[in-house]
């Protein structure tokens, strides 16, 4: 099947330089709707759904391919090649930050810069590394997800989204989780939360921006600082934001940070 149909790819915008937006776990391209209008006048916007998410073609899902994050990175590369993109600005949320890292490592010449929104290279606290979870915590979460995906979705969404005073945000994330094929969601969760990409970070040699929320239980502050220190020459911005999804909860701050980064790094190109 055509890669663009497989991933429900949408391309719009008046600019030439492409910005590819990669959504996080349990989400789809609709989660970027508050961000893209700020960039569509100056950039070519590319949105897509991972296989199993949104309006993608679920029949293309293969357990072997998606048993690690490289399978998702290869999909991003395939989309970029199908559209004949160059000098790509890749914006990844949560797990897609690490998917983006793997894509950049595999084909660094394809990308201009990497923007990581709420990234985590490893969710498990280990030694001096603070990931936010114990292995027992994550194994318990994955068991809960395995036994009752819909129940897990309702319980996990408010924790991930934060902002308890704005329940409509958690409700949207819950609904997004519930639209995802449970079997695919279970494997993607295991791959997301058990992958360790710490050793990959120093291999990123392009301009990079890390956006960290000041209150994020999924990717706490030490995680963002770790990514910043590991990616040479990266920029780090702490957003005054609660939760793991600032592109939904605090889009204006997220837009301002991305615009500032791009304004400094695209001049003269």
Q: What pLDDT does residue 269 have?
A: 43
63 assigned to some structural domain: yes
11 assigned to some structural domain: yes
Distance CA 148, CA 131 (A): 25
Phi, psi of 11, deg, nearest 5: -125, 130
184-215 tens-digit pLDDT: 888 988 999 999 999 999 999 999 999 999 99
51 assigned to some structural domain: yes
Confidence of residue 268 (pLDDT cuts 50, 70, 90): very low
Distance CA 100, CA 98 (A): 5
Q: How many domains does the chain have?
A: 1
Sign of CA dihedral 167, 173, 179, 184: negative
The CATH number covering residue 20 comes to 3.40.50.1820
189 neighbors 177 (Cβ within 8 angstroms) = no
As a whole number, the mean pLDDT across the chain is: 91
Q: What pLDDT does residue 29 have?
A: 93
Catalytic residues: 94, 216, 244
168 assigned to some structural domain: no
Residues in the chain: 269
Distance CA 267, CA 207 (A): 13
152 assigned to some structural domain: no
Strand 44-47 with 88-93, pairing: unpaired
Is the pLDDT score of 1 beyond 60?
no
Is the pLDDT score of 114 beyond 90?
yes
Domain extent, residue 13, equals 3-122+196-266
92 assigned to some structural domain: yes
Distance CA 252, CA 258 (A): 10
- Tokens 């020459």, residue located: 233
Range 115-130 burial, b when 16+ CB lie within 10 A, else e: bbbbbbbbbbbeeeeb
17-63 tens-digit pLDDT: 999 999 998 888 999 999 999 999 999 999 999 998 889 999 999 99
113 forms beta bridges with 89, 207
36 assigned to some structural domain: yes
Question: pTM for the full model?
Answer: 0.94
72 assigned to some structural domain: yes
* Backbone torsion region of residue 8, taken as left when φ is above 0, otherwise alpha when ψ lies between -120 and 50, otherwise beta: left
* DSSP SS3 for 166: coil
């Amino acid at each position: 099947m055509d890669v663009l149909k497989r991933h429900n790819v949408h391309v719009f915008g008046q600019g030439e330089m492409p910005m590819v937006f990669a959504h996080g776990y349990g989400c789809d391209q609709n989660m970027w709707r508050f961000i893209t209008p700020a960039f569509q006048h100056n950039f070519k916007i590319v949105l897509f759904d991972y296989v199993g998410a949104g309006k993608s073609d679920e029949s293309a899902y293969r357990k072997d391919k998606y048993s690690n994050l490289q399978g998702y990175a290869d999909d991003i590369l395939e989309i970029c090649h199908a559209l004949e993109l160059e000098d790509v600005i890749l914006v990844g949320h949560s797990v897609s930050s690490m998917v983006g890292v793997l894509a950049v490592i595999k084909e660094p010449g394809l990308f201009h810069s990497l923007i990581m929104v709420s990234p985590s290279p490893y969710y498990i606290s280990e030694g001096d590394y603070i990931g936010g979870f114990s292995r027992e915590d994550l194994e318990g979460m994955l068991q809960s997800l395995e036994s009752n995906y819909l129940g897990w979705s309702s319980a996990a969404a408010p924790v991930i989204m934060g902002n308890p005073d704005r329940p409509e945000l958690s409700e949207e994330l819950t609904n997004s989780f519930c639209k995802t094929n449970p079997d695919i969601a279970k494997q993607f969760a295991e791959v997301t939360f058990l992958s360790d990409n710490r050793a990959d970070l120093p291999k990123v040699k392009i301009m990079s921006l890390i956006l960290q929320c000041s209150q994020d239980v999924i990717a706490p502050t030490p995680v963002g600082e770790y990514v910043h220190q590991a990616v040479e020459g990266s920029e780090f911005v702490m957003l005054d934001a609660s939760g793991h999804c600032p592109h939904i909860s605090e889009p204006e701050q997220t837009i301002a940070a991305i615009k500032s980064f791009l304004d400094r790094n695209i001049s003269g190109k």
